Amino acid sequence: MVSKFKTNKYKPLKLNDLKKFINSKKNLKKLFKSTSNLRVKEVGDGNLNLVFFVENNYNAICLKQPLPYLRVLKDWPLTLKRSYYEYEYFNTHKKYVKNHFPKIYDYDGVLRSITMEKLSPHIIMRHGLIKGIKYNSFAESISTYLAKTLFYTSDLYLNAESKKNFISKFISNTELCKITEDLIFTDPYSVNKNNRWTKPYLNKMKKKIEKDEKLKIVISRLKLKFMKNTDALLHGDLHTGSIMVTKKDTKVIDPEFAFYGPMGFDIGALIANLLMSYFSQTGHERKIGERKKYKKWLLETIKTIWDKFEKKFLKLWETENHGDAYPKVLFKKNSKKMNLEKKMYMQNLFEETVAYAGAKIIRRIYGFAHNIDFEWIENTKVRANCEYKASNLAIEMLKNTYSFKSINDLIKAAKINENMKAKL
């Protein structure tokens, strides 16, 4: 796999290289009818990569190219191989969920670029949530997305050999996994120069986190699970900034963190980001109570996502259980014991989801990379108030995971924390 890359020929693309690049590739050239009037623009609002749009009146594409370092922190070197995993993630899952990805046109093994459809009029979901826009088709789409991507790459569907082949394809995405291992599971719980939080209001809470041995045991267990578990092929960074939406359509982008890991990590990432959106809403109100209905919609959406996910995942398990796990020959159709086992499986997955969601919230409030949901709240005291409530719930989700028996318990706890007084 690595041998097809010619590292020495890689160079970051400049705006005026793009026309030549497109003309050099038949499959890209033909997307435009004529390439004489192409408009090119660099957009890159992301943290890691170069992103360009190339368009004419006929078509529009998006080209993403990794840089050999982290864009936001140039002294942080980062492998170019990450775009290969991004491309392979799209490739692996496109059989089942291609309507939830941009169309992928090209992967260039030298420049490591991915060329895809430019999504339009889609916007980054996080931006929409900050504005208070409701996406009523989202829960349906993303629950299908989660159920299919997770089920079809698991042992419940694949035979042991295919599953191991998939694992081996993604096993070397170690640098990106290491970012997660440090930034999510270690740094926020220790004293580290990369950490940041809303000072001085959250100083006490940060200290409490550093001193809480039980919390540190829990986060270490989650880290270990993240490192050793190979349940399914995960997106690895499924937050609302990796999802582009319209009212009717949902597209997932940016799977460069793809790896085989615990399913609850992807579901948890999504739920954590919707919860953070919920807790940030009062900070975006122009009038007190303005976002009340919207907050209700957010919680309903979280509940619907889990409920639909569970139903769809179980349906796939019932109808397409071709994998080597729980061999069909061992169980009668509608076996009571097996139905009970499936129930327990989903219960464990729910608890795993709650715990990883808690971890995702803590890292966005006390770690290196923060969310604009909170960051765009200008009044720091108001922001700290929102962040306090979110982190208080997150700590509960981590330390008392088993007290969350169902999605209703999580929704209830979110409301209780939202209505309490923050101790700043």
Q: Which is nearer to Mg ion, 162 or 172 (CB)?
A: 172
Q: Which of residues 63 and 393 has its CB atom nearest to ligand ADP in the complex?
A: 63
Which residues between 317 and 356 bind Mg ion (CB under 5 A)? none
Among positions 13, 22, 48, 146, the unique one binding Mg ion when judged by CB under 5 A: 48
Helix (H, G, I), strand (E, B) or coil at 126: helix
142 is a contact residue toward ligand ADP (CB under 6 A): no
Residue with the shortest CB distance to ligand ADP: 46
Cβ 132 vs Cβ 293: under 8 Å: no
Single out the segment in contact with Mg ion by CB under 5 A; choices: 42-50, 92-100, 122-130, 403-411.
42-50
Among all chains, which residue has been given the structure tokens 């303005």?
290
43 forms part of the interface with ligand ADP (CB under 6 A): yes
Question: What is the nearest approach in angstroms of Mg ion to the Cβ of residue 123?
Answer: 17
At residue 93, φ and ψ (nearest 5 deg) are -90, -10
Q: How far is the CB of 66 from ligand ADP (least distance, A)?
A: 8
Q: Which stretch binds ligand ADP (CB under 6 A): 46-54, 203-211, 221-229, 287-295?
A: 46-54
Q: Using CB under 6 A, which residues numbered 228 to 287 contact ligand ADP?
A: 253-254, 256
The least CB distance from residue 290 to ligand ADP, in Å, is 27
Euclidean distance between CA atoms 258 and 149, whole angstroms: 12
Q: 384 touches which of Mg ion, ligand ADP, none (CB within 5 to 8 A by kind)?
A: none
Joined tokens for residue 422: 């923050």
Radius of gyration of the chain (CA): 22
For 150-175, the DSSP string reads HHHTSTTTS-HHHHHHHHHHHTT-HH
Q: C-beta of 48: minimal distance to Mg ion in Å?
A: 5
Question: Does 46 interact with ligand ADP (rule: CB under 6 A)?
Answer: yes
At its nearest, how many Å lie between ligand ADP and the CB of residue 18? 15
Stretch of 38-46, 219-227, 260-268, 299-307 lying at the interface with ligand ADP (CB under 6 A): 38-46
Is residue 48 a contact point for ligand ADP (CB under 6 A)? yes
- Tokens standing for residue 214: 């039980």
Distance CA(259)–CA(250), nearest Å, equals: 22
367 near ligand ADP, rule: CB under 6 A: no
Q: Which of ligand ADP, Mg ion, none does residue 119 bind (CB under 5 to 8 Å by kind)?
A: ligand ADP
Closest to 153 (Cα-Cα) out of 44, 263, 267, 66: 263
Residue ranges of alpha helices (H) inside 171-262 are 174-183, 203-211, 213-228
Site stretch for Mg ion (CB under 5 A), options 40-48, 136-144, 158-166, 334-342: 40-48
102's contact among Mg ion, ligand ADP, none, with CB below 5 to 8 A by partner kind, is ligand ADP
What whole-number distance in Å separates Cα of residue 357 and Cα of residue 393?
A: 10
CA separation (Å) from 190 to 31, 209, 398?
50, 8, 16
Contact between 86 and Mg ion per CB under 5 A? no
The residues that bridge with 260 in the sheet, in sequence order, are 233
Closest CA to 418 of 393, 398, 396: 393
Phi/psi at 271 (5° precision)? -65, -40
Q: Is 178 exposed, middle or buried (0-12, 13-18, 19+ CB in 10 A)?
A: exposed
Among positions 253-272, residues that touch Mg ion (CB under 5 A) are 254
Q: Which is closer to ligand ADP, CB of 116 or CB of 129?
A: 116
What is the footprint of ligand ADP within residues 78-117 (CB under 6 A)? 102, 116-117
List CB contacts of 180: < 8 A, sequence separation 6 or more. Answer: 226, 236, 257
CB closer to ligand ADP out of 51 and 202: 51
Per-residue tokens: 91: 């490739």
Residue 54 makes contact with ligand ADP by CB under 6 A: no
Residues in the chain: 424
Min dist CB 112 to ligand ADP, Å, is 13
Residue whose CB is less far from Mg ion, 67 or 338: 67
- Per-residue HEC secondary structure of 346-369 comes to HHHHHHHHHHHHHHHHHHHHHCCC
User: Does residue 45 touch ligand ADP according to CB under 6 A?
Assistant: yes
Binding residues for ligand ADP, per CB under 6 A?
A: 43, 45-49, 51, 62, 64, 102, 116-119, 124, 253-254, 256
